Amino acid sequence: MADAPTDEDKVLIRDFLDGHVHGVVVEDDEDLFASGLVNSLFAVQLVMWVERTYGLRASGEDLDFANFRSIDAIAGFVARKKALVGGDA
């Protein structure tokens, strides 16, 4: 499936998060913000990191909490964006 999240992406995302959660182990489906692991201003850094890392621009309906809530959600979002950019890749 073209838009399935990859383990490689999840590793990248986890590496980025590790620098901000002070050694806490984060589950793939754990809500990053509701559990208090990071504060809301971190969302801005997270969106910008995703854009920079994957060379994409998040705008309009991309900027939905559902796309950034957890490692799974971010990986899914990245996969969908890649699929759009890559067409039938």
Q: Contacting other proteins (CB under 8 A), which of 1, 25, 44, 89? A: 44
Region of 5 on the Ramachandran plot (φ > 0 left; ψ -120 to 50 alpha; else beta): beta
Is 39 one of the binding residues for other proteins (CB under 8 A)? yes
Closest to other proteins by CB, 6 or 81 = 81
Residue 1 CB, nearest distance to other proteins (Å)? Answer: 26
Q: Which residues contact 45 (CB under 8 A, 6 or more apart)?
A: 20
Binding mask 57-86 for other proteins (x = CB under 8 A): -xxxx-xxx--x------------------
Question: How far apart are alpha carbons 23 and 32 in whole angstroms?
Answer: 14
Closest to other proteins by CB, 18 or 64 = 64
Q: Burial of 30 by CB count in 10 Å (0-12 exposed, 13-18 middle, 19+ buried)?
A: middle
Closest to other proteins by CB, 30 or 72 = 30
